[in-house]
Every structure is written in C-alpha cells, then in structure tokens.
Amino acid sequence: MNKQRRDNDIIQLAHGGGGRLMHDLIQDVFESAFRQEDFSARHDAALLRDINGNVVMSTDSFVVNPLFFPGGDIGSLAVNGTVNDLAMQAARPLYMSTGFIIEEGCPLAFVRRVARSMRIAADRAGIAIVTGDTKVVERGHGDGIYINTAGIGVIEHEDTLGPERIEPGDAIILSGDIGRHGIAVLATREELALESELESDCAPLAADVLALVEQGIKLHCLRDLTRGGLGTALVELSEDSQKTFVVEEDAIPVSNAVASACEVLGFDPLYVANEGRFAAFLPADQASEAVAFLANRNPELQPVIIGEVQDDGKPIVVARSPLGTERVIDMLSGDQLPRIC
C-alpha cells in the first residue's frame, strides 16, 4: 500500500472505476478520515440509529474555487452548509452523506486534506458522516473537487418554522457581520491584498439555534445567508411571506475589511455570500433577549436587530438610511462580477 500511495499521488480516472484503485482510495482516504463507528464505506447504504421526532432532510453541492481559503475549505463548507440548512428548521443535525466528484489529476493530498477537514467540521457540528460516494471525471470536466452533502436532522420541539410564520411586528435579527466568506474566497482566488486579514465566517449554526429554542425564544423563521447574501434572503422571505420588511441599513454590521474590499471591487455587501450567519424573525418583545443571548455565546459576532416586519400586503424589502431616505432591496438579476462562488 505504501508503494502504491507514492506511485499514485494524483487522482486517475480508474480511481472512480469501481475496481481496485477506487477500493484502495476509499479505504486509504475516506475510511481513515471519517469516524469508523459512523461510516459505512463499502455497503452503499448506512443503517442509522433510531430517530425520534420529525425528520428534516436537506442537500447542497459545493463547487468553490479555490478549494482552500482563509477560515475554511470546501470540506468544512460542505459540512457546515448542510448542517446550517437543517439548523434553519431548528432541527438537530444527525446524519450526513457525502458525494465527491473529483477531477482527474487532482492531487490525492487535496482529497485527503478535504476529507480530514470534513471529519473535524462534522465533529464540531455534532453530525455523523455515515455514507459516501466517489466519482472521477476527466481532466477539464471538473474543478479539483466538487462535493455534495445531504443531511438528516430531527426537530425535537413542537414549532414548525417558515416564512408563513412571519408576522407583522416581528423583529428581524442578524446573527453577525456579513460578507466575510465571499470576500475571503475572492481575495484568495484573485490574490488580492486586503488591508487587513479576513477569514471566511464558515461555521455551524445549529448549536446557537438550538440554544435559542432551549432558552424559550419563539422563533418564527430562520434563514442562513449563503449565495446571494442577506439581500437575496430577505427578498425571498418577503415574497414567500407576502410581507414588507423594513431594515435599518446602518444597523447591519460589516467589518472594515469587508467594507473596504467591497468599495474597491464595487460590490454591495448585502449580496456577498456568507457561510455562518443567519437572519431570524421573532416576536419583537423577545428580540433584545435573543440578541443578548447570541452575543453572550459569540461576543465577536455582533448580533443585532436590523429591522421589523410590516403588513401592508406588499412583498418588498425597504432599507432605510441614517438620513431617513429609503431604497428598495431587490434580488440581483445576474451575478455581481467578478463571481465569488
């Protein structure tokens, strides 16, 4: 095996062919990285322990370039992305599958590093990686590594969260400053020299959400801010709930590093991707308690109340400036350029 490792230090098509090389790859890289008591590498399906409660399922694919960036990599992203989709239903993440699509020629060391990163992220988020799949595509038909994860979680409380639960008078809170992930990835890819060090905000959100529920906060709706950023998330929820949201533009925390990078690049931080932030809609009389509770858990994140829900039947999002002027936030019709992810 040692000899083979040296000889085959890049991914070949045959690593996905179902034969000996794939068999060795799975054993050598994935079985050794993932938690053995959880991971069912060779039987194509994993038997899970008992699940009691309402089950939630989610999936996400990850195609980030570069694979490694300050604050994370495609592996931690793939774990946290799916953990966070489950968390947005206030579900406890339980089990995860992972599908790798690897490009021929990708260094085996990258695959190994990403698998280890997934294991670390999964342990941190309290989710078990239980089953996986590997495909290899020809050179020029991939981008190093693409990962899909699908996750299962369980809702252990009575509430169902969703945009239909958003009510007039609800406060809108934001769990932390925005735009770090998108700018960190872009800066790495384009080799931009930022004024100050910037890391992706990539992080699991489930523990914070479950703690809020435990604390008795009556959450109506949660949304993690990924592609499209805070702006797109608000517009989608406004449309789905058919309510008007008014946010105080000045209240939205943006770090100096993100703000100055956005200024140089011509980006609006409202639309820059995040991977560890969420917006929550909840009764106004619990908003301050929720924010204080989150700030106590994560003092560095600056959770804040950013606005409120009105009910005049128009599904629009209005941003109010400190001077009292207003602008309507819409979805981007295309991409911000250059593309971030």
**Residue 289 C-beta: closest distance to its own copies, Å:** 26
- Closer residue to its own copies (CB): 40 or 291: 40
What letter would DSSP give residue 115? Answer: H
- Closer residue to its own copies (CB): 59 or 302: 59
- Closer residue to its own copies (CB): 160 or 321: 160
Q: Which of 237, 221, 250 is nearest to 316 (CA)?
A: 237
**Taking CB under 8 A as the rule, does residue 85 contact its own copies?**
yes
**Residue 31 C-beta: closest distance to its own copies, Å:** 13
Footprint of its own copies on residues 117-146 (CB under 8 A)?
Answer: 130-133, 135, 137-138, 140-143, 146
Measured CA to CA in angstroms, residue 163 lies from 127, 221, 234, 256, 313 at distances of 26, 6, 10, 32, 14
**Taking CB under 8 A as the rule, does residue 262 contact its own copies?**
no
Q: Which of 28, 31, 32, 59 binds its own copies (CB under 8 A)?
A: 59
**Residue 324 C-beta: closest distance to its own copies, Å:** 28
**Taking CB under 8 A as the rule, does residue 265 contact its own copies?**
no
Beta strands in 66-170 (DSSP E): 68-69, 72-73, 92-103, 128-137, 145-155
The answer to whether residues 99 and 294 touch, using CB atoms and an 8 Å cutoff, is: no
**Taking CB under 8 A as the rule, does residue 80 contact its own copies?**
no
**Taking CB under 8 A as the rule, does residue 28 contact its own copies?**
no
Q: Which of 1, 6, 37, 45 binds its own copies (CB under 8 A)?
A: 45
**Taking CB under 8 A as the rule, does residue 88 contact its own copies?**
yes
Q: Which of 231, 251, 224 is nearest to 88 (CA)?
A: 224
**Residue 341 C-beta: closest distance to its own copies, Å:** 9
**Residue 285 C-beta: closest distance to its own copies, Å:** 26
- Closer residue to its own copies (CB): 88 or 171: 88
What letter would DSSP give residue 8? Answer: T
**Taking CB under 8 A as the rule, does residue 269 contact its own copies?**
no
Tokens standing for 33? 């990285």
Q: Binding segment for its own copies among 114-122, 292-300, 307-315, 332-340 (CB under 8 A)?
A: 332-340
**Which residue type, as a one-letter code, is found at position 266?**
G
The pair phi, psi for residue 101, each rounded to 5°, is -115, 110
The answer to whether residues 73 and 114 touch, using CB atoms and an 8 Å cutoff, is: yes
**Which residue type, as a one-letter code, is found at position 240?**
D
**Taking CB under 8 A as the rule, does residue 169 contact its own copies?**
no
**Taking CB under 8 A as the rule, does residue 244 contact its own copies?**
no
**Residue 195 C-beta: closest distance to its own copies, Å:** 27
**Residue 340 C-beta: closest distance to its own copies, Å:** 9
CA–CA dist 312, 318 (Å, integer): 13
Q: Which of 28, 31, 32, 63 binds its own copies (CB under 8 A)?
A: 63
- Closer residue to its own copies (CB): 72 or 81: 81
**Taking CB under 8 A as the rule, does residue 156 contact its own copies?**
no
Footprint of its own copies on residues 279-318 (CB under 8 A)?
Answer: none
Measured CA to CA in angstroms, residue 189 lies from 183, 216, 336 at distances of 10, 43, 16
Footprint of its own copies on residues 204-243 (CB under 8 A)?
Answer: 223-224, 226-229, 232, 236, 240
Q: Which long-range contacts (CB under 8 A, 24 or more apart) does 283-286 make?
A: 283/167, 283/169, 283/170, 283/171, 283/218, 283/220, 284/169, 284/170, 284/171, 284/308, 286/171, 286/217, 286/218
**Residue 207 C-beta: closest distance to its own copies, Å:** 17
Task: Report the relative pairing of strands 92-103 and 128-137 from DSSP bridges.
Answer: parallel
Buried/exposed code over 64-73 (b: 16+ C-beta within 10 A; e: otherwise): beebbbbbbb
